[in-house]
């Protein structure tokens, strides 16, 4: 039975799959061969497109019988679970896959191509994802948390999955979400927060039925469901006296709990664990290592084909800020590198892309280059906690692409090292535009596509997003969207904390400037600005030694202010305000200039957007326009506070005579 396309509630934006995106597929004669859930999904999509645009769809005839414009054939061999081929010959476009998910991805490939999929002829191309796991972690709480709300660091309304303390009864919107995810290649979702509070802990046991209901609606879109669990579950849920990973009763408890999970969800993806981090329980309490902890859970899920995603975000958030030798940036490497080779095959170590915490500019985590015998997943933050909270436009494609292409050594890029997958903290919620800021949809889409192909050109991915979201966009619209999105990450960087120093944000909620907010804080994130200079000395020679965690040539390059790239200078070094950058400017003048430029760029983007009013549907246009007002207000606040702060510290006026105080 064809699976009907999900029906969106009135007023909900269809994001990158409006009906018009299927125009080219709709008016054709299509043959679908093969069965199984994703093939039914494919059938439903094509049937709906035919209903709208004419054309017809036939099941299971032989390709030769009658002439078809499009053949979607599950008969291919050797393409794995997700691969497909696409070819066009004699007026027929043929997509072949071995498994249903491949067929689904093949259909969305054709949708992306639009008319071009039915023009000319081309030889068979093979498409396969570079990374097998392309996953979103939702930091969603089932119950509304008194401080963090329902979605921790969520800027798009409430949770898509949970409402009023339980799984939504109507999961049609979740089904529509699965469809959007399939169209950009995402194949896994963790449905609850990594900070597992008491209510959420029960999802693992007595509330697994709610998770199973979600898994049921995501499955036809090839999306597997994962769960964040508490390391203390055997104590909290099982009443055992300990959660010691080497204790037999604890191992037995996890084995039983996991068996029940798989009875409810046979294709369950596995567990996500934040342990010994920011107050979450972990193996340290029992004098055990994080490999012991991860392997305990790997042993539970492994026999069923599941994986444990063990997060490397482990650091001491009760540091003494007067002690200049402790350095939060070192923590993940110091904790985990000694454990390389000790993790079980079904354990994946999930590492944030930078050593700190999703700042607008960080070096790539040295840990990613230092654990060759461990399956690693790289984690990025799609939700814009530190990049404007979906009130500012900040398209992160270029940043992620830089990370994924970075090479710790000549052998492999980060994208190649991420054998355990690419994970993003989701930016979606129950907002009518899914992501609060309609342009933040581009981040979600880009994440999925870069996970499929880490070496893809982000600008080309953006073109795809534009084409799918605004089918038949006139050139002026697509130029305008590029104008406001392409450089938006660098614009954001310009008007916020300078040169990689990070963290000049309001503590707690992390929106807007607070020059000394984290300066005397046990969380361990400092800039050390005084009257003479600014920056954190992380050199081996005189600083915390962090630079030494990299392989050559990076260790050498970062070690000296003379060779360190400008954009990371203050991450690695404490320098005087008069220090000259490679750009030829002094640090203080760079700060002033970038802050003026950043605001001017936001003003310009706001102007460009206003000029697109006739080309964008009014509700969407108005939402973005309203957010630009806030972005501009906030960018000016950043500029004024940062410039005044550094003027007062340094006493150096702007050489161009602008007001900096
Ligand atoms: C930080 C967030 C916090 C998360 C934490 C994490 O501020 O809400 O719990 O990361 O990744 O960025 O666990």
Domain boundary among 108, 127, 146: 127
The verdict on 146 and 86 lying in the same domain is no
In the chain, the number of structural domains is 3
Instruction: Give the span between the Cα atoms of 604 and 610, in whole angstroms.
Output: 10
406-412-417-423 Cα dihedral, nearest 10 degrees: 30
Burial status of residue 341 (CB atoms within 10 A of its CB: 0-12, 13-18, 19 or more): exposed
| Residue 474, number of CB atoms within 10 A of its CB | 10
| pLDDT tens by residue, 468-511 | 999 988 999 999 999 999 999 999 999 999 999 999 999 999 99
* Most ligand 1 atoms within 8 A of CB, residue of 145, 154, 195, 275 to mutate: 195
The verdict on 157 and 115 lying in the same domain is no
The verdict on 121 and 143 lying in the same domain is no
Ligand 1 atom index nearest CA of 352 = 11
524 CA distance to ligand 1 middle (Å)? 14
Q: Indicate whether 11 belongs to any domain.
A: no
The verdict on 433 and 299 lying in the same domain is yes
Q: Residue 238 — φ and ψ, nearest 5°?
A: -95, -10
Ligand 1 atom index nearest CA of 386 = 12
Question: With 80 as the cut, is the pLDDT of residue 336 above it?
Answer: yes
ipTM, two decimals: 0.99
| pLDDT tens by residue, 570-608 | 999 999 999 999 999 999 999 999 999 999 999 999 999
The verdict on 263 and 155 lying in the same domain is yes
pLDDT of 582: 98
Cβ atoms of 606 and 632 within 8 Å: the answer is yes
| pLDDT tens by residue, 514-543 | 999 999 998 888 999 999 999 999 999 999
Residue of the nearest CA to atom 2 in ligand 1? 153
Q: What is the mean pLDDT of the chain?
A: 96
Spatial CA neighbour of 387 closest among 414, 362, 417: 362
Question: With 90 as the cut, is the pLDDT of residue 321 above it?
Answer: no
Question: With 90 as the cut, is the pLDDT of residue 645 above it?
Answer: yes
Domain boundary among 453, 468, 483: 468
The enclosing domain of 95 has a CATH number of: 3.30.379.10
Whether residue 141 has its Cβ less than 6 Å from ligand 1: no
Instruction: Give the span between the Cα atoms of 456 and 450, in whole angstroms.
Output: 6
Q: Indicate whether 557 belongs to any domain.
A: no
Q: Indicate whether 52 belongs to any domain.
A: yes
Residue of the nearest CA to atom 13 in ligand 1? 194
The verdict on 206 and 320 lying in the same domain is yes
Spatial CA neighbour of 587 closest among 506, 519, 501, 518: 501
- At residue 63 the predicted structure's pLDDT band, cuts being 50, 70 and 90, is low
Helix axes 458-469, 100-113, angle to 10 degrees: 80
| pLDDT tens by residue, 371-397 | 999 999 999 999 999 999 999 999 999
CA distances (Å), origin 353, targets 228, 363, 659: 20, 8, 37
Instruction: Give the span between the Cα atoms of 130 and 142, in whole angstroms.
Output: 33
Q: Write the CB contacts of 189 (distance below 8 Å, at least 6 apart in sequence).
A: 135, 136, 137, 138, 181, 218, 223, 224, 225, 226, 426
- SS3 call for 328: helix
pLDDT of 215: 98
- SS3 call for 408: strand
Q: Indicate whether 157 belongs to any domain.
A: yes
* Most ligand 1 atoms within 8 A of CB, residue of 194, 424, 525 to mutate: 194
Name the one residue in this structure whose structure tokens are 């996970």.
Answer: 451
Tell how many helices (H) and how many strands (E) occur in the chain: 20, 22
| Overall residue count recorded for the chain in this entry | 661
Whether residue 276 has its Cβ less than 6 Å from ligand 1: no
Q: Residue 176 — φ and ψ, nearest 5°?
A: -65, -35
pLDDT of 318: 87
The verdict on 322 and 393 lying in the same domain is yes
Q: Which helix (H) or strand (E) holds 48?
A: helix 37-53
Per the DSSP assignment, residues forming a β-bridge with 70 are 30, 93
Question: With 80 as the cut, is the pLDDT of residue 317 above it?
Answer: yes
The verdict on 223 and 300 lying in the same domain is yes
Q: Where in the sequence is the domain holding 505, given as residue range(s)?
A: 493-536+574-650
The verdict on 432 and 286 lying in the same domain is yes
Whether residue 274 has its Cβ less than 6 Å from ligand 1: yes
SS (H, E, C) 524-563: CCCCCCCCCEECCCCCCCCCCCHHHHCCCCHHHHHHCCCC
Alpha helices in 54-202 (DSSP H): 100-113, 172-184, 198-201
Cβ atoms of 311 and 274 within 8 Å: the answer is yes
Q: Indicate whether 181 belongs to any domain.
A: yes
Instruction: Give the span between the Cα atoms of 175 and 113, in whole angstroms.
Output: 24
Put simply, whether the predicted model's pTM sits higher than 0.95 gets the answer yes
Spatial CA neighbour of 397 closest among 451, 478, 475: 451
Per-residue buried b or exposed e for 506-516, using 16+ beta carbons within 10 Å of the residue's own CB:
eeeebbbbbbe
* Most ligand 1 atoms within 8 A of CB, residue of 139, 147, 314, 351 to mutate: 139
DSSP single-letter state for residue 151? E
The verdict on 177 and 72 lying in the same domain is no
Spatial CA neighbour of 405 closest among 437, 432, 378: 378
The enclosing domain of 595 has a CATH number of: 3.90.1330.10
Mean pLDDT over 9-38 rounds to 95
Question: With 90 as the cut, is the pLDDT of residue 61 above it?
Answer: no
Spatial CA neighbour of 494 closest among 580, 601, 402, 398: 601
Rg of the chain over Cα atoms, rounded to whole angstroms, equals 25
The enclosing domain of 210 has a CATH number of: 3.20.20.80
pLDDT of 322: 84
Question: With 90 as the cut, is the pLDDT of residue 158 above it?
Answer: yes
Q: Residue 141 — φ and ψ, nearest 5°?
A: -95, 145
The verdict on 59 and 23 lying in the same domain is yes
Cβ atoms of 155 and 436 within 8 Å: the answer is yes
155 CA distance to ligand 1 middle (Å)? 14
Cβ atoms of 523 and 650 within 8 Å: the answer is no
Q: Indicate whether 580 belongs to any domain.
A: yes
Spatial CA neighbour of 453 closest among 126, 190, 75, 220: 126
Name the one residue in this structure whose structure tokens are 């954009």.
Answer: 567
Domain boundary among 127, 161, 195: 127
Spatial CA neighbour of 204 closest among 232, 242, 246: 232
Q: Indicate whether 48 belongs to any domain.
A: yes
Cβ atoms of 12 and 432 within 8 Å: the answer is yes
- SS3 call for 272: strand
169 CA distance to ligand 1 middle (Å)? 29
The verdict on 56 and 143 lying in the same domain is no
Whether residue 351 has its Cβ less than 6 Å from ligand 1: no
Peptide bond into 553 cis (omega under 30): yes
Strand 122-127, strand 92-97: pairing: unpaired
Whether residue 313 has its Cβ less than 6 Å from ligand 1: yes
Instruction: Give the span between the Cα atoms of 439 and 618, in whole angstroms.
Output: 14
Whether residue 195 has its Cβ less than 6 Å from ligand 1: yes
Ligand 1 atom index nearest CA of 274 = 13
Q: Indicate whether 560 belongs to any domain.
A: no
């Amino acid at each position: 039975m064809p699976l009907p396309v999900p029906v969106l509630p009135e007023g909900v934006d269809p994001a990158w799959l409006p009906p018009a995106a299927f125009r080219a597929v709709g008016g054709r004669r299509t043959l679908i061969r093969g069965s199984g859930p994703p093939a039914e999904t494919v059938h439903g999509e094509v049937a709906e497109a035919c209903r709208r645009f004419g054309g017809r769809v036939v099941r299971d005839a032989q390709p030769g019988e009658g002439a078809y414009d499009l053949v979607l054939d599950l008969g291919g061999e050797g393409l794995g679970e997700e691969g497909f081929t696409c070819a066009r010959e004699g007026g027929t476009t043929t997509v072949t896959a071995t498994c249903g998910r491949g067929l689904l991805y093949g259909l969305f490939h054709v949708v992306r191509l639009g008319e071009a999929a039915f023009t000319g002829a081309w030889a068979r191309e093979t498409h396969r994802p570079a990374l097998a796991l392309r996953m979103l972690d939702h930091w969603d709480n089932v119950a509304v948390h008194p401080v963090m709300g329902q979605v921790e660091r969520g800027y798009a309304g409430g949770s898509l999955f949970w409402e009023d303390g339980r799984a939504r009864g109507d999961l049609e919107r979740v089904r529509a979400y699965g469809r959007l995810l399939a169209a950009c290649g995402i194949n896994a979702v963790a449905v609850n927060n990594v900070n597992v509070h008491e209510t959420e802990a029960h999802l693992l046991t007595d509330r697994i039925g709610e998770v199973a209901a979600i898994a049921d609606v995501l499955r036809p879109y090839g999306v597997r469901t994962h769960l964040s669990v508490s390391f203390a579950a055997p104590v909290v849920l099982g009443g055992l006296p300990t959660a010691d990973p080497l204790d037999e009763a604890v191992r037995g408890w996890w084995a039983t709990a996991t068996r029940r999970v798989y009875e409810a969800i046979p294709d369950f993806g596995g567990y996500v664990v934040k342990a010994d981090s920011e107050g979450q329980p972990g193996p340290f309490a029992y004098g055990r290592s994080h490999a012991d902890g991860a392997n305990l859970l790997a042993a539970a899920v492994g026999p069923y084909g599941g994986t444990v995603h063990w997060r490397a975000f482990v650091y001491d958030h009760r540091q003494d800020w007067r002690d200049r030798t402790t350095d939060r940036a070192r923590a993940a490497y110091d904790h985990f590198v000694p454990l390389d080779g000790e993790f079980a095959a079904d354990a994946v170590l999930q590492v944030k892309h930078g050593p700190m915490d999703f700042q607008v500019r960080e070096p790539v985590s040295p840990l990613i280059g230092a654990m060759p015998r461990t399956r690693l997943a790289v984690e990025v933050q799609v939700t814009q906690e530190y990049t404007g909270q979906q009130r500012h436009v900040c398209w992160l494609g270029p940043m992620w692409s830089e990370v994924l292409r970075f090479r710790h050594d000549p052998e492999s890029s980060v994208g190649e090292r991420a054998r355990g997958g690419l994970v993003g903290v989701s930016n979606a919620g129950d907002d009518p535009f899914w992501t609060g800021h309609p342009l933040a949809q581009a981040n979600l889409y880009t994440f999925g596509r870069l996970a499929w192909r880490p070496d893809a050109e982000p600008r080309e991915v953006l073109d795809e997003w534009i084409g799918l979201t605004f089918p038949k966009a006139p050139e002026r619209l697509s130029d305008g969207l590029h104008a406001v999105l392409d450089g938006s990450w660098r614009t954001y960087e310009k008007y916020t904390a300078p040169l990689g120093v990070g963290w000049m944000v309001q503590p707690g909620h992390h929106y807007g400037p607070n020059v000394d907010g984290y300066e005397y804080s046990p969380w361990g994130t400092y800039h050390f600005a005084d009257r003479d200079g600014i920056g954190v000395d992380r050199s081996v020679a005189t600083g915390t030694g962090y630079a030494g965690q990299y392989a050559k040539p990076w260790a050498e390059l970062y070690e000296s202010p003379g060779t360190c790239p400008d954009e990371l200078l203050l991450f690695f070094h404490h320098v005087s305000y008069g220090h000259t950058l490679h750009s030829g400017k002094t640090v203080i003048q760079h700060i002033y200039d970038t802050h003026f430029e950043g605001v001017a760029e936001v003003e310009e983007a706001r102007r460009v957007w206003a000029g697109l009013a006739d080309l964008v549907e009014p509700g969407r246009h108005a939402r973005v326009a309203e957010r630009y007002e806030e972005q501009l207000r906030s960018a000016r606040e950043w500029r004024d506070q940062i410039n005044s702060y550094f003027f007062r510290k340094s006493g150096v006026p702007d050489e161009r005579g602008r007001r900096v105080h």
